[in-house]
Amino acid sequence: MFLLFGMLGLQEIQVMMVSKANVVVDNDNDNDDDEVELEKSNILLMGPSVFRTYSSVLSCFGFDLVHTMPQSLQGTSTSVPTDLSESSMDTKDNLQNREFINAENIIRHSQKLQGDLQVFGMKIKQHEDRLSLLNTEKVKLEDSIIHLQVAIGKSKSSSTTKIDNAEEEVDKQILQHEKSAASVLCQIKTRYGAHASLLTLRKEVIGIVPMLGRVEDDNLSRLFSEYLGVETMLAIVCKTSEGVKAIEMYDKEGCINKSSGLHGLGATIGRALDGRFLVICLESLRPYAGKYVVDDPQRKLDILNPRLPNGECPSGFLGFAVNMINIDTENLFCVTPSGFGLRETLFYNLFSRLQVYKTRVEMMQALPLITDGAISLDGGMIRNCGVFSLGNREDVNLRFLRPERSAGLDEQVEIEKKMKDAQLKKEKILEDLKRERTLLDTVKHNFSKKKIDFLKYLASSSSSYATPVQNAPSVP
């Protein structure tokens, strides 16, 4: 088995693959007819640039490569027959097409893999840029929080004394109600402080109602106390139902366990609790669901004012009681597990939409617009729609105190609000950082996997061409 190559001009190489045939080629220029036994199907034509590759490749399959002498395209009777030339051209085109298609497929798939790598690379850069930006913002927020903490410390140092004096006065008023649970709680806190048995109470109990808010006007403070009544003013306020359980426990028969909870602590100081008392669980209250007054440091509730048919507020209307309570900064935000403050939970449930008017006459004129009760500064009181409280005013010796402000208290509230905002932003950034790192790790893993696939494909494609060329004999 061997190959016979006949040069046809300068542009083509005639390759004849001969099997079990004698090949005779006339090398002279006479006109004698020489017999050529060939199998037409074993002839192909290829250009000289492709010949160098295929001569090596074909030799790997056991073919003997032989060059023939040049012949004229005007050939004599010894020239390759016309039908043989046509068959050779067809075979040549088929092989060239397969070669080109294979090369195109390799290039196309390589480009696809490269494109995938570029996409992953761009995603990696995007996530890295995002991480860099988030880290920069985190550092700025941390610096801002440190500065705000310093500012809060300075502000508190100038106002602590007056606030402490106000709380001492509230304690004295509560202690006058000796048999109340609120009085026992105040004494226990004063006597035992951070004792281990009080850990749950200290964690869950926020305080007594009058200690959780302050009213600017002393007359209004008295009216609020009268409206709520002594029992409600002495109510203990806790965050969750766990606080309720810690205050009072029961035995197997359902009777009060006098040796545990607040009952047991009261017995240790000689103040046994007798009778009922109120405990308000913030977690169980239905909070205000509306909006808040924009940019208000006290987070007042944005409740629609009552309106007459002409669109105006009724004469003498001063506002809603729930918004006339000043709340300590630490109780404005995130008091409950759901993130609500005292205004939208405790005080909204105590006062609801209780309206405040200057005079009783003006309050009665606005009666059709009153839905949840009203009070007037001269002593008028409507507890609920259709329920009037008449007679002389009751002087309740327990009321909200008028805040004793220092010059920097408003500034302190604003600073602490900024602190809360900064801490919330930092928490969000930390969550974003965690998510971005996870996404970056995933993209990097996909990039590495795709890179390995690409390199394996290149190696496989290269070896399929390089091996035959390296093993092929040189062409004379």
48-98 tens-digit pLDDT: 444 444 444 444 434 444 444 444 444 444 444 545 455 556 665 666 666
Look at residue 104 and tell me if it is in a domain.
Answer: no
What integer pLDDT is reported at residue 191 of this predicted model?
Answer: 76
Look at residue 148 and tell me if it is in a domain.
Answer: no
The whole-angstrom separation of Cα 51 and Cα 49 is: 6
181 in the same domain as 73 = no
142-180 tens-digit pLDDT: 888 888 877 777 666 555 445 556 777 888 888 888 888
* pLDDT greater than 50 at residue 29: no
What integer pLDDT is reported at residue 469 of this predicted model?
Answer: 43
Three-state DSSP at 171 gives: helix
Q: Residue 72: CB partners within 8 Å, gap ≥ 6?
A: 79
* pLDDT greater than 70 at residue 375: yes
Look at residue 463 and tell me if it is in a domain.
Answer: no
User: String of b and e for 360-369 (b: at least 16 CB within 10 Å)?
Assistant: bebbeebeee
What integer pLDDT is reported at residue 115 of this predicted model?
Answer: 81
Look at residue 467 and tell me if it is in a domain.
Answer: no
CATH code of the domain containing 328: 3.30.70.1620
186 in the same domain as 43 = no
* Selection from 15, 21, 23 nearest residue 94 by Cα: 15
Tell me the H-state helices in 345-386: 348-351, 360-365
What integer pLDDT is reported at residue 52 of this predicted model?
Answer: 47
Distances (CA, A) of 475 to 51, 52, 55: 10, 8, 7
Query: Domain boundary residue among 80, 105, 124?
Result: 80
Look at residue 76 and tell me if it is in a domain.
Answer: yes
Q: Which residue has the higher pLDDT, 103 or 438?
A: 438
186 in the same domain as 76 = no
The whole-angstrom separation of Cα 165 and Cα 339 is: 30
What integer pLDDT is reported at residue 26 of this predicted model?
Answer: 40
Query: Domain boundary residue among 351, 371, 397?
Result: 397
75 in the same domain as 183 = no
Q: Which residue has the higher pLDDT, 20 or 458?
A: 458
181 in the same domain as 37 = no
Q: Which residue has the higher pLDDT, 436 or 475?
A: 436
What integer pLDDT is reported at residue 363 of this predicted model?
Answer: 95
CA angle (210 as vertex; 205, 214 as ends), nearest 5:
120
In degrees and rounded to multiples of 5, residue 22 shows phi and psi of: -90, 135
What integer pLDDT is reported at residue 43 of this predicted model?
Answer: 40
| Band of residue 368 on the pLDDT scale cut at 50, 70, 90 | very high
Highest averaged pLDDT of the listed ranges 175-189, 197-211, 304-318, 455-469: 304-318
The pLDDT mean for the chain works out to 75
Highest averaged pLDDT of the listed ranges 60-64, 276-280, 391-395, 448-452: 276-280
The whole-angstrom separation of Cα 208 and Cα 465 is: 88
| Band of residue 385 on the pLDDT scale cut at 50, 70, 90 | confident
For range 273-299, the mean pLDDT: 90
249-262 tens-digit pLDDT: 998 888 988 888 88
pTM above 0.85, yes or no: no
Element (H, E) at 279: strand 279-281
Q: What is the DSSP string of 200-221?
A: HHHHHEEEEGGGS-B-S-HHHH
Q: Which residue has the higher pLDDT, 86 or 15?
A: 86
Look at residue 454 and tell me if it is in a domain.
Answer: no
Query: Domain boundary residue among 47, 80, 113?
Result: 80
Number of domains in the chain: 2
Q: Is 237 exposed, middle or buried (0-12, 13-18, 19+ CB in 10 A)?
A: buried
Look at residue 334 and tell me if it is in a domain.
Answer: yes
* pLDDT greater than 80 at residue 120: yes
182 in the same domain as 313 = yes
Supply the range of the domain harboring residue 19.
Answer: 2-80
What integer pLDDT is reported at residue 476 of this predicted model?
Answer: 43
323 in the same domain as 204 = yes
Look at residue 18 and tell me if it is in a domain.
Answer: yes
* pLDDT greater than 70 at residue 275: yes
User: Which residues of 137-255 form beta strands (DSSP E)?
Assistant: 205-208, 236-238
225 in the same domain as 367 = yes
CA 292 vs. chain centroid, Å, equals: 24
Q: Which residue has the higher pLDDT, 224 or 102?
A: 224
